A and B are shown apart, each in its own frame.
Chain A
Amino acid sequence: MQLAKIALRNTTRQLKRTLLLGGAIAFGFFVFTVLNGFTGGLIETVQFNFASALGGHIYISGTEVSELGSEISVIGDTEAVLGALGTIDQLIASYNTRSSANTSIIFGAREENQRLIGADFGQEDKVLGAMNFVEGTPEAFLERPDGLLLPQDVIEKLGLEIGESVIVKTNTISGQQNVADLVVVGSLNPQDAGFGITLGFAHIEALNTLLDMEPNEFQTLNIYLDDLALLPAATGTLYRELKNVATVEPRTGGSRGPNFARAFGLGRVNRVAEDERWQGTKFSVTNLEDRMEGVMSMIGVMENISLIIFLVILVIIMVGVMNSYRMVMIERTVEIGTMRAMGVQRSGIRSVFIWEAFFIALGGALAGLVAAFAVMAGLELFDFSSSSWSFFLKQGHIQFGVGFFDTVVNMALLCVMSIASVYLPARSAAQLRPAEALRASF
């Protein structure tokens, strides 16, 4: 312990050098922590945005074949899917049913394309409560069966006032043109309207009428789980249960293809070859992991880039530390000789150097961590709502996610690397002969 105290005192003897070395280490750790925090936060944010936009963690969509052989996006066999939910009942936090459409909102001579989600807001009261209303209230929306919530920017482009009626035009599920008059009862902050995807909302009965669907039908059933760790198991159980009672598409996953489009309600009327047609509803079961596959690959690349940056910085720092301690060893040759003459063992000399490197690395890492937290906290305060990256933002703000365990491991790694880089100069110092060291003059 005495050697550790000597090492700690030594760090203050050449304060400028210690600060430069520690500063370099702090900078490296700062960069790595911020980048890691950014990608960590990004995963959480995108997960949250996806789950909110799609209305759950597991998504069941369905298609049926029309008399003319077209594939239409609707779940007509509602009993089969609701029955299958019973098997994972204990894992479900809540579920909701939705319909959706790409619409044109027309007001006078103005027309705007708008994606509309039809939901049963009796089931989804939390979603309605979480929306950031610029004008109007959730209560006013619930009171009007023909009520419509639109993003504020769409309302401004159309020159609308709350309470005014608009024409909503879309294709029915079989591809026919249809229109309805809906009343705008509220405007939403564009960033909150779709959690990154700019959405409008209507009551599912109203949207079903527009889509030429029965009031009790829906296009997707979405499930929120209590524990996201059980997502693969719950999805598998649901898939197997549905397969016992209905036709189900094989689970291929992926963020491409028709299943992905259908979950967003972007499915189109496709022609089905005669030998491939089916009876009733064909279900498709996907989950948050499938949806996020593409995004996760991108985040994975970012994580790898930040790791490479960290390693490069680490190597530069290590070379700097090694060179500095070579200089230290030369400067302290006489001192080392004196210590050796007074009975300090070789291992003691080595330990002093190693402890010194450890303290500088630890101090630098802690300083870098504090700076990183300060910068991350500062960046989280900025509102980037007007940017086009809203899907990567949580209500307009960057989110950082720094894991405690990861941070401890990274600090340990930094300390070990610093110790490793100082080991050679420390060993050289320990191997100095006392008499020669005492004679040395630089």
Chain B
Amino acid sequence: MNVYSIVRTLSIVSVLSGLGTVFAQDFVEMLRTIDQRSNFAADFAATFTMERIDPEAGEDNRTVQVFRRDEDDAFLLLIQKPETQLGQGYLRIEDGLWFYDPESRQFTFTSLSEAFEGSDARNDDFGRSSLADDYQIVETREGTLGRFEVWIIELEALNDEVPYPFKTLSITKEGALLLKSEDYSLTKRLLRTSFFPSYARVGDNLIADQRIFVDALVENKRTSFTISNISTTDLPDSVFTKAYVERVNR
């Protein structure tokens, strides 16, 4: 066996071992794990503090009280600050997503794919995670993100109703935590990059308590959320009703 043969054999073994590692992973199961960890069997409530930086509009802050019931795919977002928007709410129930304006006292239908309060977050970002159901894996590879070794997974939507038809996720090899998501348009142009640098453990769940959404189209535009006061205490059924939204900040 000459040197060339040794090098070739080692190379093949190295490549195969790498591929073996990739194939050894069940990436669908990984997505399912991410979904399960961030979805709650019980009810969920937390305070989201939003900080939006827009090169044109400047800085803008919001405090939003979030209530979620993943079992019914329902959520309620109630704006607490600024005072001028106190009482405005987004209610996701069976028949869709409704926006309530206490000034007009009217509910108007809105969409999950709409931007939340002009930020880089979509209304859909506040609901339950369904990566495993909504996307198929088209490519996987290894990579690093900062000091973390990650799996980079490219996803393609299985239906045409999810806001982002293509995604590229960076998931830590250790612990399978979603650190970064690149969200693409139908024409495969990067629209935004979402970072999840910190997680909080809530019972069996892991929830990203810091989320940063960076707009890829508008330079220097980004929105960050800090999540606090997390609670998994059961919420009354009435919370996820229009009547509650009308009443709560009257």
Contact = CB atoms under 8 A, between A and B. Distances in A.
Given A177-B191, A179-B185, A110 B56 contact: yes
A152 interface: no
A362 B183 CA distance: 76
Interface string A37-71: 00000000000000000000000000000111010
B163 A270 contact: no
Interface stretch (A28-36, A167-175, A220-228): A167-175
Nearest to B108: A268
Interface stretch (B5-13, B83-91, B136-144, B212-220): B212-220
B164 A176 contact: yes
B160 A109 contact: no
A106 interface: yes
Given A175-B112, A268-B109, A268-B111, A66 B160 contact: yes
Interface string B199-238: 0000000000000000001111100000000000000000
A109 B56 contact: yes
A267 to B, nearest CB: 10
- Residue among B111, B160, B219, B220 with the highest chain A CB neighbour number at 10 A: B160
B163 A109 contact: no
B186 to A, nearest CB: 4
Describe B's contact surface by its main secondary structure: loop
Given A179-B189, A179-B191, A269-B111, A174 B217 contact: no
Interface in A270-284: 270-271
A178 B164 CA distance: 8
A180 interface: yes
Contact of B161 (A108, A110, A178, A269): A269
Contacts of A172: 160, 186
Q: How large is the interface on A (under 10, 10 to 19, 20 to 34, 35 or more residues)?
A: 20 to 34
Contact of A175 (B56, B94, B111, B183): B111
Contacts of B197: none
Contact of A171 (B111, B157, B218): B111
Contacts of A179: 185, 187, 189, 191, 217
B56 A176 contact: no
A65 to B, nearest CB: 12
Contact of A111 (B94, B96, B163, B218): B218
Nearest to A261: B109
Nearest to A270: B96
Given A68-B159, A176-B161, A106 B95 contact: no
B186 A66 contact: no
B81 to A, nearest CB: 24
Nearest to B95: A271
Given A174-B160, A177-B164, A179-B191, A108 B109 contact: no
Given A68-B159, A108-B219, A171 B95 contact: no
B159 A177 contact: no
A167 B113 CA distance: 18
A271 B96 CA distance: 7
Nearest to A67: B159
Contacts of B127: none
A303 interface: no
Contacts of B164: 176-177
Contact of B113 (A106, A110, A171): A171
Given A177-B113, A271-B95, A109 B161 contact: no
Contacts of A268: 109-111
A176 B160 contact: yes
A66 B218 contact: no
A212 interface: yes
B186 A176 contact: yes
Nearest to A179: B185
B162 interface: yes
B218 A176 contact: no
Interface string B174-203: 000000000101110101000000000000
A180 B185 CA distance: 9
Nearest to B55: A109
Contact of B163 (A106, A110, A177): A177
A113 B93 CA distance: 28
* Highest count of chain A CB atoms <10 Å: which of B94, B110, B161, B187: B161
Nearest to B217: A106
Contacts of B159: 67-68
List of 4 A-B pairs having minimum Cβ-Cβ separation, nearest first? A109-B55, A178-B186, A109-B219, A174-B160
Interface of A: 66-68, 70, 106, 108-111, 167, 169, 171-172, 174-180, 212, 268-271
26 contacts: A66-B160, A68-B159, A106-B217, A109-B221, A111-B56, A111-B221, A171-B113, A171-B114, A174-B160, A176-B160, A176-B161, A176-B163, A176-B164, A176-B165, A177-B163, A177-B165, A177-B183, A177-B186, A178-B186, A179-B187, A179-B189, A179-B191, A212-B160, A269-B113, A270-B109, A271-B95
Given A171-B111, A176-B160, 18 more contacts: A66-B160, A67-B159, A111-B217, A111-B218, A111-B221, A171-B113, A174-B161, A175-B163, A176-B164, A176-B186, A177-B113, A177-B164, A177-B165, A177-B191, A178-B187, A179-B217, A268-B110, A268-B111
